Amino acid sequence: MAMSRYTKTIERDRLEELKGGLLKILKRFLTEESYKVIELKHLDGFLKLLACEDFDRKSFRRLRAISKFLIGLRIPETALIQAYKLIKNYALLEGKDKLLSNIEFIFKNLYKPYLILHKLERLQDVHFHLEGDLLYQMNKLKEIYLREHKRLIGDIFSDDRVLNLDSEVDSLLSSLEAYFKDSKVYSRLLSLHELYKRTLTSIAVVESDFISLYTLTKDVELIFKDIINLIDEAIISLLSETAFLDVLTGVYSRNYLQLILGKEISFCKRHNIPISVILLDVDDFKLINDKYGHDVGDLVLRFLGESIKRIIRSSDIPVRYGGEEFLILLPFTSLEGAYTAGEKVRSYCESKTFTHNSLSITITISVGVAQVEDFENPWQDIKRADKALYMAKSLGKNMVMIASNDI
């Protein structure tokens, strides 16, 4: 009996060590408030999932809640991989065969949402408002690729992996040949398309654990991103001829925001996905213009636009809201995640020196964040974020403020 109690004590201590290791991985990416929620609620639920004998509906609901929570907080997939390796090492040391089996199932399902963050086809409805058959066709091609990629990624982690791309993609690509003729863009797109299909075929015959499948899936993901980026380049080139792209900064215009805001909000409301907004602008921008001239001021705005695009993820929507003010719409993001994203942009800008010829300037920004609560009128939440931005400025600038519920 004493031995049994001793064994249980040792197991409990090792489980606490595992829990501490998982919290250490996550803590680097969380605010103090988010860390407490994970520690007190979701981590215990996750550990219970690991010990499940059979996965029932309640288990699946818990898994989906944890996955949505991690995505909302913008926890990167690298943290997921670190957690997988930590738990697998623990299971191997303890000789827990059931745990090893559960790990593969749980992490494959936790990882799926990370592969569809860019799933929001922001432009798929826009082409109905734009002139030009080519733009319509390019948007349609992107829409089909996004839809098919989401389906195929889900199939990769299923037991029966049949990874065939819809023939509609081949048909549409063939129809585009007349538009592009001898274009290098079209040739590159065809090459990537064939590579994408060959890589999917090779994955279909592989029997692998989570890490091996993850590695192969990243290969597919990189090819897919190259395809989408190539399509986006063509679309942006066409959009630059419209009022939907801010040519100076390289981000979307306010006209574009007005066009797609309702669609983004409706999507998130329908699927019960959090969506947040960031408003930011350059501190003391008028002084920069007065001291160095408007040409330098324009270059500073371009620098900020490039910085924002470098930091945010592909599902986020950066917009030049007006003057030196920028807005970032963040689907799949809770208030805590929006704060983290705002802080990343702020700290990145502060750490980089803007240079032009012999001129060097340290650029700082003030940031306001809010989660969309009024799905019928999201402009009210944008106003709250704007108010938080000006609160940040009044309290000393170069900081991130969370919006209150008062307008």
What SS3 state is found at 355?
strand
Residues ≥6 apart with Cβ < 8 Å to 106? 49, 50, 63
Catalytic residue among 32, 33, 39, 324: 324
Specify burial of residue 149 (Cβ count, 10 A radius: 0-12, 13-18, 19+): buried
Record the tokens describing residue 359, joined without a space.
């001129």
Long-range contacts of 343-351 (CB under 8 A, 24+ apart): 343/367, 343/400, 344/311, 345/278, 345/280, 345/307, 345/308, 345/311, 345/312, 346/280, 346/398, 346/399, 346/400, 348/307, 348/310, 348/311, 349/304, 349/307, 350/398
In angstroms, the Cα distances linking 273 to 43, 72, 120, 266, 329 are 21, 8, 12, 10, 13
73, two tokens = 């907080």
Count of CB atoms within 10 A of residue 209's CB? 14
CA dihedral 335, 341, 342, 348 (to 10 degrees): 170
Q: Could you tell me if 365 and 304 are in contact, meaning their C-beta atoms sit under 8 angstroms apart? A: yes
Contact 333, 72 (CB under 8 A): yes
Active site residue 350: no
Amino acid, single-letter form, for residue 208: S
Catalytic residues: 324
